[in-house]
Structures are given as structure tokens and as C-alpha cells.
Amino acid sequence: MAFFKRPVPNTFCGRTRREFLWQAGGGFTSVALAGLLAKDGFFQQAYGATTNGPSANPLAPKPPHYPAKAKSVIFLFMYGGPSHVDLFDYKPTLFRLDGKTVDVKTKGRGGEKNQGRIVGPKWKFKQYGESGHQISSLFPHLAECADDLAFIKSMTADSPIHGSAMLQMNSGQILSGSPALGSWVNYGLGTQNENLPGFVVMLDPTGGPISGAKNWSSGYMPASFQGTVVRSKGTPILNLNPPEGMTDAVQRELLDSLQAANQEHFATRSDNSNLAARIASYELAYKMQQHAPEAVDLTKEDEKTLSLYGVDQPETAEFGRRCLLARRLVERGVRFIQLYAGGAHNDSNWDAHGDLEKNHSYHAGRTDKPIAGLLKDLKRRGLLDETLVIWGGEFGRQPTAEYAEGTGRDHNSYGFTMWMSGGGIKGGASVGETDELGSAAIEKPFHVKRLHATILHQLGLDPNHLAYFYAGLDRKLVGVEHTSPIREIIS
Amino acid sequence: MKQISPKNLPSFKLFLGALLLLIGMTPWLSAEEKQSQAPAPAKRSDSIEFAKQIQPILAKRCYSCHGPDEQEGGFRLDTEEGAFVETHSGGFAIVAGEPEESLIIERILTDDEYMRMPPEGEPLKPREVKLLTRWIEEGAEWEKHWGFRKPIQPEIPEVSDPEWINNPIDAFILSRLEEQHLQPTTLATKQTLIRRAYFNLTGLPPTPAEVDAFLRDESSDAWSDLLDRLLASPHYGERWARHWLDLVRYADTNSFERDGDKPNAWRYRDYVIRSFNEDKPYNQFVKEQLAGDELDEVTPETITATAYYRLGLFDDEPADPLLHQFDQYDDIVATTSQVFLGLTVDCARCHDHKIDPIPQTDYYRLLAFFRGLPPYAIGRKEETLLNFSQRDITSAETEQIYEAWEAEKQALRDQILPLEQKGISKMPGAAQRATEGPRREKLLAAKLDDYLNEEDWQTYTALKAELEKVESRELPPREVTLAVNGTNPNPEPTYVMLRGNPHVLGEEVTPGFPELFEAETPDFPELPGNAESSGRRRALAEWIASDENLFAARVMVNRLWQHHFGRGIVRSTNNFGQLGDPPTHPKLLDWLAYELVKNDWKLKPIHRLIMQSKVYQLSSEAREPELSLDPANDLFWRFNMRRLDAEEVRDAIHAVTGELNPKMFGPGIYPEISAEVLAGQSRPGKGWGNSSETEQARRSVYIFVKRSLITPILAEFDFAETDRTCAARFSTTQPTQALAFMNSPFLQEQSARFAERLQEEAGSNPADQVTWALELALSRLPSEEEVTRGVDLIERLQEEHSLSKEQALTYFCLVTLNLNEFLYLD
């Protein structure tokens, strides 16, 4: 373990960061420089097998590259691809053209088309707050938070197919094998609470998303950075509970005996810090057993709070519970939390190919109040400022119908909407536009990597510098080309 | 070379001289730098090494303006040619032997801010200037990077303590230690050695009986006999195949939404195990995998080997099908160049390699060797998977059985048909016509007896019955493997792709080896008309595995070293390029490469050589000043401790609890995965099978590798990332491992089995049980204190926690399986 050394904050080989980046420039250096620095012990490479020698906890807290606006991230993943034109991207033309066949270029599950029947949005839009954000009637509660939201209405992705698009939204690449966003964040910043995992994933009760664990894998980074699935019911973390019949006292007895033997073994090998780390990991695991159940225990929450999240209503109880859990985890220092709204396949998530009205009413209905509750709760506790909340799916949906009949829409990666809130984001802002049908981003298109750059930036990490040397290249979440955060929505 | 005097600084020479003097008086390294450099690179024959000491300075401080991307003033420092050319200003940047005449030094040292190089940032450090100056003084030799030079048969160094030497490996190691005035640590005990040898060669612990026999064997051949036994063990192949499977990104599925199965991938895994066990020469192993379908002698085995090309990711619903086709080629180029050559040619997919001399054309020339390979499949079309990636490799004997069977059936049909026709000819016209269509069989069954005489009818029914019998005969199954199939003997042209984009084509290229190897471009003879493949991959394989080449041999011996010592002589075992790590013992590395070729590329002799060295038999004990001076053990003054890897952890548990099922080969097995973990799948449980308890207790190398669902205990302990070549596993320590080891159903279950074994084999006396448990788990006799601690625990659990005797013993077993000593090798 542990080949991750960090530089002294704000000094790069004795220079200031600004100087460093200036010298680094673009082109050649962006690829190779960090790799060369790695050889100077800047970011040390990982070779895995060597266990002797100095070691450090890879999850030890690390200073950001520059002062951070956000400490934690809650990514509300609207799996399946919510229809932006029915939710936030108001297109009056679409209402007018309902049922008409128009020329429009689309690409989705059903392939590429040049023409299609417009499906008018099924919900009315209204402006909210001082910002005047247009929000459809599917989100009455969220609309109350309009001025805290910053919309990116011109998102684009490389793939309109779930498998590869999920991987891209989560890891930046359409091929599997790269670390997830949450892994990058923990690699860059370390953890603030060793008693809990730093990268938490909470799945929908209907199942995981397509590609399952690939979505929270640490890829070519060590497993210390992979996502941990936390459940809101039952045992929160895999293997957290001692087996039936093993009391706490018995477990302590076993641990004491184990640690005595391990200490004895260590005494003659005291230069091997991995042995010490393994001894410590048992105490950490033991503490995790005490802390994790407390972290997910909602009985400490008052009725008002539960109701704020909709935990008291059957429709919203499940997602509300997870949103509330997310807040509790943020309070306890968890860096990155991802909540999947929707799971499995088809209408178990936002993937509305058949009956859009039914699908989106259902998924908006069970998430609107919980999400609004989360934003309001974070705000009243003063946590929203340091918590970056992200809403969106792997892509959006087409303005036209997928089939001859019905309201179902196919996937759309040419243009879709996401929003962010808190964590140094400019509430009330909106950036980018799709065309008048909402079929493609035309004004300031933002590729997924710009979103990733923004997230890292708000956490105080330089997206163009956070690199991990692997297989001859300095790999970055945002890729080799210089990628800027979306300045328009940063306050 | 023309000498140029600086014109704008008349007193330059004087000034420079003074400055050099000044630098000369400053300490070579600051105290801090000394610290970070300890131990200094052991070699101090005192001449500057270009690749190690000069090139990094140039790369870091000069390349951004005078390198591969930009050549300001028309001048570049990343190539020898560019560095020695006359500059635009009419001078020479580098004048060999004459630092005072070299413009590069002048421009680095000038006080004139507008002239000083580099223009941005701090001036070069005095240490760096001194290195550059000395390098020029010594002749400015533009030495090729070590990894791009052919291995040279080195002389075996002399050492002052020849007594210590077991074989030449020790001479290489000891001479470096002696240069640094360091000493190797103590020798390991026989107990440590046998455990080390068992795990390193077979991935399993020795049984107490095996330990006992070895300890008793006081003959001088005891160690060598042990190595012979272990190298002959079928478990050797299981262990070493897994190292290879990591490299070739082995998995049984494709990843992406469906993560569909790769049918018959397991035959490749078995092929690798068999190849290691029979000590197939490595050059043959290379040829079979790269060109098993193009060799003179194509066998089911060599066809199976080509599954190498079919193990990568496959998206059956790609957003951009053409891009995905080239992503698949990229996977092959990346894997092939890193695994066989230790070169990251894949870094040149979009542009010239930024550091190594690998132009973008090299990437596409290498890709051109593979251009005749069709993709894994196209979308979800089953027939493309069969046509491109499955091949019938049924053995000749089985084939004969099938042929005989066909002939037998035909003979019967030949007798049946005339009888049928005889009857049909007597039927009414409508019925006759009907026998020409799909209703024939039904009609004959109902009517034929009306139109045949008794004798014919008897004969007919007898023949029909016989045919039915023959048709339903059980034959040995046909064998199908994952492999390349449907190759194109006349591959499409290959073009350079601008920025790696397959939609934007550049110049056409033909197959060729990376330039830096300075190998001749292969000739491709005219193919016979019936050729199934272009023969290009064979040309590549023969070059990689040629006796003259040795690059591949050097990469492979480094891997053998890596898996014995915990790290390669070159730590970055997949990258021998300039961004990789330099070898800590370059001569030893070259020597081993020669040894491999000398031994007909067989790996077992190299294992034997390595393990018979003294350095292999060192203990892992720390000593001073070695620990302070060389904490990373660069010089191998001791043996590196290591944690067992994922498969060893699981297999060792099964071995110790007595559950291990040694059955080899065949389709993948499915250990039970809890519902909580399966819930992470979009269709929980899909693509995961059931295996019986005894099947589940087989060795971990046989576990079905599903890319999106890695068996949790393997994932916890740093299983290889499956999606790209994995050169070295991580070795993380995490609380989730501790949770799994204390609480998971698997550990509970195995502890219970362990306890049952103890009761059966050690009787009911707790002291005997504890002793036997520790002997099984740790391969040594426990001390009295250890036995007392175990017995105390068992007693306390019963007395103070009211647990049953069995439960108490089970918990003691759980503690035993959690011991650091169980998971770490000395």
C-alpha cells in the first residue's frame, strides 16, 4: 500500500503553484511533466508488490491544491436519463409542435434518425424565485429552492447508450477500467473520518445501475479508493455486523488475542509499517462497527426533519431516507456520496422509452420532496456552503417520440441538463442552451469532463494537475487535454 | 565541430571559468538532497550517465520549447540529431568536450534575463549545471536509453567475499553491496525458506509433514530437491499462470451493460496452466499466443493460445462502432507492446510518444500486424461471435469418431432410400408430390407400409430402427475454444489516425517494428491462394521471440524476478521506457536474459537459478546501517516481506482448513456471493452460476472472472484490474479487509471447518488442537507461550462467555486465520 506522497501545499519543487503551471504550459508538459516529477517523488508510482520500506495511509487527509469551496459532494444520480425538456429546459416550441413530424437529427438506442414526431412536454412550466428559473410542475418542492440551483443546460456526452454513458459520467471514460469520480476525490483529498468509508454509494432498492460495481470501481488505482455500498436498511456495510451469536465482548476478546499475537510478530519486524497498518486496521474496523450504525440511524432525527425529507410518506420515504442519510454522512466527513435514483432496467429508472408520463411522474414524485428537503436541511444547518450537490443522469432524452405511438423518448447525449447547488456554486445561475427543440446543445456546450473539472475545482483540486501515473501516462479524470471548470456557475 | 565564441560577452570565458570554480566549491548535494538520494546510485565509476542524469534535466526544463512539440529557434534537444545541429544563430548548443564553447551552458548561466534559459521559472540549479557541464566535458555522449539497447552479455563481477557466492546472481548483488560498504543480512531459517518456496512456486502453504521432512533432510541437496519437487508440482502452473493472466487482462466476460460471457475463455486459462507446467519455452509460448493460427504446425493448443487476442473489453452496443473497432486494436497494441516488449507504444496512439522515441507511425505500424484480425464480434450478432472468436478444436481422434459416425448413418440411409422410393412409386400422384415436401416423413410413417410387401417392410423398419439407434449414440463432445477466427489474409490498409480519431485518416503505413529497436522491416512473401491469414502476426511473433532479439527475454526474466522478490529488477515491469524505473541491477538483468536463451527459453531453470542463489535465501530481517541507507532495499540486502495475494489468501485458507479441492481445469467456478453484493448488479444474480461446495473449494485461479462482479474476497485483497494489462498487484491494507476476515460468512464457515479438522486430527485436548492449528497455518511449531495464549482464549470463551467447546474452538480458528503471520511471508 501507500505510495502516495503529496507535495507541500502550494509549493511545487519550491516554486509557487502559479509559476509551476505557467512553466508547465500546455502541450508536451501537460502529459509528461507530472510523470517526470513522479520520479522525483512528487507523485510516486505504485508497484504494488513491494511491501517493505516506508508506507503511509493512502487515505490520510491531504491538503487541496488551493483553498476549497466544498468539502463534500452529494451526487444525485438520475440513472436512466431524465428528460430535460420535461423538467428544466423549457421549450415553448415543443408544446406547439406536439404531434407534428419535424426534421431533427437524433441518435439513441434506436440509432440515428433525421426526422421524428415531436412529443410536447407533458407538464407545465413556471418561473420561480428571483432567478426566474423555469421548472416544470413535476418538481413543486424543488422549485422552492430555485435560487440555490445553478443549471447547465448544454451538457453533452460521447455516448447515448447506457453502459458506456454511465461509465463516462462516473469515470470520464467510455471504456471500463478507470477510477470513478469519487475515487479521484478521495485520492486527491484523503478522508476526514477514518471510521467511515470516504466514497459511499447508495443504490436504488430495485437494483444497481447497468455495469454494477464498474460504476464505483477504483479502476487502476488501489482498492483503498473504491466506492463502498452503504445500505439504508439492514446491515449498512458489507460484513459490518459480527456473526450471529458473537457478542461485542466476545469479539473484543478475539481481537485482543489476535492483536497480542500480531504485536509479538511485529516486535521483530518493526520496520515493516504494513504490519502495523494491518494491526491498526482491525481497530479501525472495530470502530467502524460502532460508528457506521450510528451514522445511518435515523431514530435520532426529529419528526420535522423526517417530514422535510418526505420520510413520513410512502411515496417519498425510501429516497427521503437515503437523502437524509447523505446529510448525516456529510456531517461525519464522508467526502463523496452518490445516490442512485432508479436502478435495474427500463421503467425502474428514468429510462422512459414507453410511457414517459407515467415514468417521470413516478420518478419525480419519489425524489422531488426528498431532494428539496436535503437542500433545505443542508442550508439551515449551514452545510450547503461546503457541500456540493449535483443532480443529473448519464444523458437526457430526445424531443421526439421513439415509436409511432406513445410518449416515450429515446436517449440523447447531444444536449441535456444538469444542476449543481451549494459548495461555492452560484445559486440562480444558468449557463448554456439547447436548440429550440432541446435536441442538441448550441450555446456553450459543456462536455461531461467540464462537469468533472468543476467538481474537482470546487473541492480545491486542479483538474489539470490531479494525475495518477499509470502505464506510462499521467492519467487524469478529465483526460490529457486542458479542461477548465465551468466558470459561469462558480460564485 | 566548429568552435564558436560568444560574441555578446567578450569576457565570457573568464566569467564562466570563475563560475564553474564557484560551483565546484559548493557541496555536490545539499544535506537534504543527500538524504533523499541515499543510497546514492551504487555505481560511481564517476562518469555521467546521460539517460539517468542528463536527459531528465533536458526533458523537464527544455523540452517544452525545444522538444517534440515545439522547436523554438528551429532547435530541439529531444533527439541527438537536433541537439548537435548548427543553430539559427550560427552556433552549436553542444560542443563535445568543450563546455565553455557550448551555447547551452552559456545561455543557462548568463545574467542577461532576456537571454537566460529557460526563460521562465528559476534558473537551473548549480547541481544541474554542473552535471551538464561535466557531461559535455566527458564528450557529450548521447547514450541510448538503457531499455532501448540490446542486452549485452555482462562479465560476472568479482567480489571480495567469494565464499558467499552460490551462483553468479550473488556476485552481481554482492558487488553492488560491497561498493556501498553494505552487507547482506542473515540467512533465512529452513522453516522460513520452505514456506517462501511453497508460496512463491505453488501459491500454497507446505503441510506440516512437508515442513518436517525438509527440516529433517540434512543432505546438501535438500533445498535443490525441494525445488525440483515444487517445480514438478501441477500447482506450480496454477500459481504462475495467474501471473500471466494478470498481464493479458484475462476475464471470462466482456464488461459493459450485458457483461456477456466470452464462451470457452477457460480453455485459454487451462492452456496457460499447462504451458507453465510442461515448461514450454517462452519463445514458443509467445509465438503460440501471437500467431498460433499462422504457424507451420497449427494444433488445437496453438489455436487456443490465440484467445490472447479475445480477452479484452468488448462493447456490444458501441456509440461509435468504428471507434470501438480501433479501441479493440488499441487494447491489443497496448497489451502486446507492454507485456512482450515492456514498451508503452499505446501512448503514441494520438501523437508521437512524448518522452520515448516512439513516433505515432510506430503505433500504426504495429497495429498493421493485427489488421487482419476481425473484431471480437459485431454488436449482439451471435454469428459474428462464432465466426470471429470461436473455433472448433476437436481432437483428431474425436473427429474420426464423428466421421465414422457420419459414414455409418449414410450407409443406412443409402439402404433406406431405395425402399422408400419403391413404395412411393406405387402411391397416388398427390401423395407422391407430398413426399417431396416437408410432409415426407409424416406421410411415409403413416402410409409406406401399405405400399411395400411384407419382406421389404420388415427390412425397412429394421433399418430405420438401426438408424435411430446410431443417431442417438452418445459421442464425445466437440471442443470449441475462444480464439481468433475469420482472419483476413489480405488485411485492409492501415492509416495513421489523426489524434487517434479513426474518422480522420492520415498516411498509409505498412507493418513494421518500433523504430527504436532498429530492426529490419519484415518481408511478407506472396501468400498461397488458400491462405487463411496474412502471416503478419507470425512475423511479429518471430521477431519478438528471436534469439537475437533478447528484449523479450529481458522483460520476461524481470517478471520472474518480480514474483520471487516482490519487485522487478526494473520495478515498472511493463515499462522499460524512459518514464519507467531504471534497473537497480542492469547487468544482472542482462545476464538473466542470456541465461533464459541459453536454457532454450525454459523458465524452470531460471526459477532454479534464482532460488538457489544466496540472495534468495536471505532473511527479511532488518539490520543497520543497511535499513537507514537503503530503506527501499534497492540493493537486495535482505528479502522483501510480502503479503499473500488475493488467490493465495483464499487458497491458503482452504488448504489450512483441509477443504482445498485440487481438481484442475475446466469451466469457471462460482463461489457463493451474498445477496447484498449481488444487489449492486442491475439484474441481481445475472451471469453468476452455482457451484457445489466442493467445487467452490477449488483453487482461485479457476474462479469465473466476471468483469463487473469480482468475487468479493479476491477484490478485497487487490485482485488484478481486469480491463487492461496488470503488471503488478497492489497490496492495500483496509478496514474492510478486517471486517471481511472477522465477520464474513466465508471466514465463519472456514473457521468451523478448521475446528472440525482439529478435533478429528488433534483429538480433544485444547493444547494439542492449538498446536496443530498453528502448525497448519504458520508452517512451524508454535512456542509454549503461543499455545498457552490459544488455550487461554478457548477457556475464557467457555468460562466467561458461556460458549460451547466447539464454538470456542471455532473462534480460536478464526483468530488464527486472521494472524499477520498467516498472511505475510518472511
Q: Which of B195, B347, B798, B820 to mutate to test the interface with A (most CBs of A within 10 A)?
A: B820
Contact B120 A22 (CB under 8 A): yes
- Residue B186 near chain A (CB below 8 Å): no
Say which residue the cell 481422434 belongs to: B397
Q: Higher confidence at residue B129 or residue A26?
A: B129
Nearest to B319 among A58, A160, A272 (CB): A160
Task: Classify the complex by whether its ipTM is higher than 0.95, answering yes or no.
Answer: no
pLDDT at residue B46, rounded to an integer: 67
Nearest to B682 among A176, A210, A480 (CB): A210
| Residues of chain A positioned with their CB less than 8 A from the CB of B709 | 212-213
| Residues of chain A positioned with their CB less than 8 A from the CB of B354 | 28, 31-32
The closest of B280, B262, B268 to B242, measured between CA atoms, is: B268
Calculate mean pLDDT across residues B428-445.
87
Q: Which residues pair with A127 in a beta bridge?
A: A134
- Residue A404 near chain B (CB below 8 Å): no
| Residues of chain B positioned with their CB less than 8 A from the CB of A281 | 733-735, 737-738
Q: Which residues pair with B481 in a beta bridge?
A: B391
Residue B121 to chain A, least CA–CA distance (Å): 6
Residue A161 to chain B, least CA–CA distance (Å): 6
Cα distances (angstroms) measured from residue B153 to each of B43, B47, B148, B586, B589:
18, 21, 15, 11, 10
Whether B558 contacts B568, CB under 8 Å = yes
Cα distances (angstroms) measured from residue A29 to each of A40, A44, B124:
16, 18, 17
Q: Higher confidence at residue B218 or residue B2?
A: B218
| Residues of chain B positioned with their CB less than 8 A from the CB of A5 | none
| pLDDT at residue B821 greater than cutoff 70 | yes
Contacts of A322 (CB under 8 A, 6+ apart): A202, A232, A339, A370
Q: Which of B682, B711, B719 to mutate to test the interface with A (most CBs of A within 10 A)?
A: B682
- Residue A289 near chain B (CB below 8 Å): yes
pLDDT at residue A44, rounded to an integer: 35
Contact A51 B642 (CB under 8 A): yes
Could you give the 3-state DSSP secondary structure of residue B507? strand
DSSP category for residue B143: P
- Residue B737 near chain A (CB below 8 Å): yes
Whether B374 contacts B483, CB under 8 Å = no
Query: What are the tens digits of pLDDT across the range B203-232?
Result: 999 999 999 999 999 999 999 999 999 999
Q: Which of B742, B797, B811 to mutate to test the interface with A (most CBs of A within 10 A)?
A: B742
Residue-wise burial string across B527-563, b where 16 or more C-beta atoms lie within 10 A, e elsewhere:
eeeeebbbbbbbbbbbbbbbeebbbbbbbbbbbbbbb
Residue A56 to chain B, least CA–CA distance (Å): 10
CB atoms within 10 A of CB B488: 13
Angle at A428 between CA A171 and CA A399, to 5 degrees: 60
Query: What are the tens digits of pLDDT across the range B279-289?
Result: 999 999 999 99
Rg of chain A, C-alpha, whole Å:
24
**DSSP secondary structure string for all residues of B163-228:** GG-SSHHHHHHHHHHHHTT----PBPPHHHHHHHHHHHHHSSPPPHHHHHHHHH--STTHHHHHHH
- Residue A274 near chain B (CB below 8 Å): yes
Q: For all residues of chain B together, what is the average pLDDT?
A: 90
CB atoms within 10 A of CB B674: 14
A-B contacts (CB, under 8 Å): 327
Residue B682 to chain A, least CA–CA distance (Å): 4
pLDDT at residue B81, rounded to an integer: 81
pLDDT at residue B23, rounded to an integer: 42
Nearest to B344 among A177, A255, A471 (CB): A471
Closest chain A residue to the Cα of B732, Cα to Cα: A1
Contacts of B461 (CB under 8 A, 6+ apart): none
Q: Higher confidence at residue B34 or residue B519?
A: B519
Q: Confidence class of residue B73 from pLDDT cuts 50, 70 and 90?
A: confident
> What is the residue-level pLDDT of chain A in tens, covering all 491 positions?
333 333 333 333 333 333 333 333 322 322 233 333 333 333 333 333 333 333 457 788 888 999 999 999 999 999 999 999 999 999 999 999 999 999 999 999 989 999 999 999 999 999 999 999 999 999 999 999 999 999 999 999 999 999 999 999 999 999 988 999 999 999 999 988 888 999 999 999 999 999 999 999 999 998 889 999 999 888 899 999 999 889 999 999 999 999 999 999 999 999 888 899 899 999 989 999 989 999 999 999 999 999 999 999 999 999 999 999 999 999 999 999 999 999 999 999 999 999 999 999 999 999 999 999 999 999 999 999 999 999 999 999 999 999 989 999 999 999 999 999 999 999 999 999 999 999 999 999 999 999 999 999 999 999 999 999 888 788 999 998 899 999 999 99
pLDDT at residue B35, rounded to an integer: 37
Q: Which of A13, A31, A50 to mutate to test the interface with B (most CBs of B within 10 A)?
A: A50
Contact B724 A471 (CB under 8 A): yes
* Percent of chain B as helix, strand, coil, to the nearest 5: 50, 5, 45
Contact A269 B622 (CB under 8 A): yes
Pairing of strands A467-470, A336-340: unpaired
| Residues of chain B positioned with their CB less than 8 A from the CB of A27 | 64, 69-70
DSSP category for residue A53: S
Contact B743 A176 (CB under 8 A): no
Say which residue the cell 428571483 belongs to: A130
Q: Which of A71-75, A227-231, B323-327, B730-734 has the lowest mean pLDDT?
A: B730-734
Nearest to B739 among A163, A210, A285 (CB): A285
**DSSP secondary structure string for all residues of A112-130:** EEEEEEB---SS-EEEETT
Nearest to A281 among B347, B355, B737 (CB): B737
Contacts of B675 (CB under 8 A, 6+ apart): B684
pLDDT at residue B433, rounded to an integer: 87
Calculate mean pLDDT across residues B228-253.
98
Closest chain B residue to the Cα of A202, Cα to Cα: B680
| Residues of chain A positioned with their CB less than 8 A from the CB of B715 | 223
Contact A214 B708 (CB under 8 A): yes
Q: What is the pTM of this model?
A: 0.85
Contact A207 B620 (CB under 8 A): no
Nearest to A208 among B680, B801, B819 (CB): B680
CB atoms within 10 A of CB A277: 18
Q: Confidence class of residue B45 from pLDDT cuts 50, 70 and 90?
A: low
Report the C-alpha gap between B495 and B509 in whole angstroms: 6
Whether A148 contacts A384, CB under 8 Å = yes
Cα distances (angstroms) measured from residue A84 to each of A122, A152, A433:
12, 11, 11
- Residue A242 near chain B (CB below 8 Å): yes
